[in-house]
Chains A and B, each alone.
Chain A
Amino acid sequence: MVIDWFTVIAQAINFLILIWLMKRFLYKPVLAAIDAREKKIADELADAAAKMTEAKADRDAFQRKNDEFDKQRSDLWARAVGEAKVERQRLIDEARKEADSLKVKRQELLLDDTRSIMQSISRLTQQTVFDTTRKILTDLAGTSLEAGISEVFAQKLRAISSPDKEVFAAALMTATEPALVCSAVELPEEHRRAIGKALNETFSIDAHLRFETAPDLIGGIELSVNGQNLSWTVSDYLLSMNTEVAELIKKRFASLPFSSTPASTDRTDVESSQ
């Protein structure tokens, strides 16, 4: 068992050569590959972390936008609700105004109808009263109604007092046309003379008269000259009846559900002229 020193030297050299070869062909490539892989993994991890950070930022941005969108939606909703309320109120007010307008129009129409009815009633009543009176007078006193009316009108002329008398006299004096005497029926000649006589005596003039018939007067005579009127009709006697009829209609209006008290029932006594 001896040591072969040549073999020792050769083995030492072999070992040194092996060290160099292993370093060249094993350790360096393997360690380089490990380092490269670790670097790649580290890079990928860093990249993943960066992407995660970016994704988190994107998510936060999205969340923030979503919140803003929700807030805007809430604001828009609240604004729309407010505008709808205002619009609803406006439409209600408009409808109410329109309803009020229609109601006023309806009331006006009703008033017109009432007025028309009142006029018809008044005219019919006057005509009836006039006819009845004429018949009664003919049967009882043997005189006509026109004669009575003419006489009454003559008496009214004679009984006229100041200041109406002066005003009417002035009108007669300044008149360029004959004074107009209107009656419901044509007056007989004697009645025309009686009226002319009464006029001349009252105002101390020689007045020229022109006689015409006006069916609307029904029972009465009207003297017109130069814008001044003097009349007597049976409608004066029917004034109270007109008032009562107007009151009755007023009560009936008040009982209707859609109407209030007529604004001016006083306007129904339109025929209460002098």
Chain B
Amino acid sequence: MRLSPDELIFWQHGFFKINATLVYTWALMCLLVLGATLITSRLSNGTRSSRWHGLLEIVVTSIEEQIKAVGLNQPQKYLPFLGTLFLFLAMASICTIIPGYEPPTGSLSTTTALALSVFMAVPFFGIEEQGLGSYLKSYMQPAVIMLPFNIIGEFSRTLALAIRLFGNMMSGALIVGILLTITPFIFPVVMTLLGLLTGLVQAYIFFILAGVYIAAATRVHKPRHK
């Protein structure tokens, strides 16, 4: 039994390899980009638009509103990163209804890569917003003694992001795989639906947590004595 799509390797040459995780990721990327291209290629500036366009607008504006809700006042600036994060994770979960499909998020490598992306994005946006000095100072808040704990917290939350997502996605796929061998008819369908819900919730959690971390990093610290 395979716990991760990483283990299914199609091609390997030394360090380089093409496994199922990468293939499914590319498939998802193609699906997302082609779908967006198809829908947006028929955009019109009039008051009438297609249903798919309306759906796309609802998705985009909802993501924008959620970004704003976590405290980021310029949602369009963070929309490409956070929005893509959510859409990729959500699409990876939704596609679990396709038989034979394994979500790339069920791979610890994928979730680690996404968590590392968030880990890198947080200081990137923080420094961009506050400047390097101010951002680094934030690690020494509220006191200098907190510096190691803040650094540890930074790493641990990244690890938590990766493990949480991986655990949920992997467990869902694993449960469906196990149930398929025991009760191959109705029950796996129900569990798939449950896994779909869990996956969407996890996508939302990952997206919101990433947004919260970035919001915390971009928040300008004002001196208390003023």
Interface residues of A (CB under 8 A from B): 1, 3-12, 14-23, 25-27, 29-31, 33-34, 36-37, 40-41
Produce 1/0 per residue, B16-27, CB < 8 A to A.
110101100110
B158 cross-chain contacts in A, Cβ below 8 A: none
User: How many whole Å from A190's CB to the nearest CB in chain B?
Assistant: 146
A1 cross-chain contacts in B, Cβ below 8 A: 3-4, 108
Assuming the A-B contacts A7-B6, A7-B21, are A27 and B109 also in contact, with contact meaning beta carbons closer than 8 angstroms in the complex?
no
Cβ–Cβ contact A7 & B19, under 8 A: yes
Cβ–Cβ contact A4 & B113, under 8 A: no
Smallest CB gap from A22: residue in B: B84
| B136 part of interface (Cβ distance < 8 Å) | no
| B60 part of interface (Cβ distance < 8 Å) | yes
Cβ–Cβ contact A30 & B113, under 8 A: no
Cβ–Cβ contact B117 & A25, under 8 A: no
Cβ–Cβ contact B84 & A15, under 8 A: yes
B21 cross-chain contacts in A, Cβ below 8 A: 4, 7, 11
Chain A CB within 10 Å — which of B4, B40, B61, B76 has the most? B40
Produce 1/0 per residue, B29-72, CB < 8 A to A.
10011001100100111110100010011001100000000000
Q: In the bound complex, what is the Cα–Cα distance between A22 and B21 (angstroms)?
A: 20
A-B CB proximity, top 6 nearest: A11-B113, A7-B109, A26-B36, A29-B40, A23-B80, A12-B113
Q: In the bound complex, what is the Cα–Cα distance between A27 and B86 (angstroms)?
A: 13
Assuming the A-B contacts A9-B113, A15-B88, are A4 and B19 also in contact, with contact meaning beta carbons closer than 8 angstroms in the complex?
yes
User: How many whole Å from A2's CB to the nearest CB in chain B?
Assistant: 8
Cβ–Cβ contact B36 & A25, under 8 A: yes
A23 cross-chain contacts in B, Cβ below 8 A: 80, 84
| B10 part of interface (Cβ distance < 8 Å) | no
Cβ–Cβ contact A3 & B109, under 8 A: yes
A25 cross-chain contacts in B, Cβ below 8 A: 33, 36-37, 40
Chain B CB within 10 Å — which of A7, A30, A41 has the most? A7
B15 cross-chain contacts in A, Cβ below 8 A: 6
Give me 19 A-to-B residue pairs in the complex whose CB atoms sit less than 8 angstroms apart, sorted by A's number.
A1-B108, A5-B109, A7-B6, A7-B107, A7-B109, A8-B109, A11-B104, A11-B109, A15-B84, A19-B81, A21-B33, A22-B36, A27-B79, A27-B80, A30-B57, A33-B49, A34-B60, A40-B46, A40-B47
| B193 part of interface (Cβ distance < 8 Å) | no
Cross-chain contact of B60 among A18, A20, A26 (Cβ < 8 A): A26
Q: In the bound complex, what is the Cα–Cα distance between A5 and B57 (angstroms)?
A: 36
A26 cross-chain contacts in B, Cβ below 8 A: 32-33, 36, 40, 56, 60
Q: In the bound complex, what is the Cα–Cα distance between A10 and B44 (angstroms)?
A: 36
A29 cross-chain contacts in B, Cβ below 8 A: 40, 43
Q: In the bound complex, what is the Cα–Cα distance between A20 and B83 (angstroms)?
A: 12
Q: In the bound complex, what is the Cα–Cα distance between A95 and B4 (angstroms)?
A: 126
Cβ–Cβ contact B60 & A21, under 8 A: no
Can you name 20 extra interface pairs (CB under 8 A) apart from A8-B112, A22-B80? A3-B108, A4-B6, A4-B19, A7-B110, A9-B113, A11-B110, A11-B114, A14-B22, A15-B113, A18-B32, A18-B88, A21-B33, A22-B32, A22-B33, A22-B36, A27-B83, A30-B40, A31-B60, A33-B44, A40-B46
| B127 part of interface (Cβ distance < 8 Å) | no
User: How many whole Å from A202's CB to the nearest CB in chain B?
Assistant: 141
B94 cross-chain contacts in A, Cβ below 8 A: none
Chain B CB within 10 Å — which of A3, A11, A30 has the most? A11
Smallest CB gap from B121: residue in A: A19
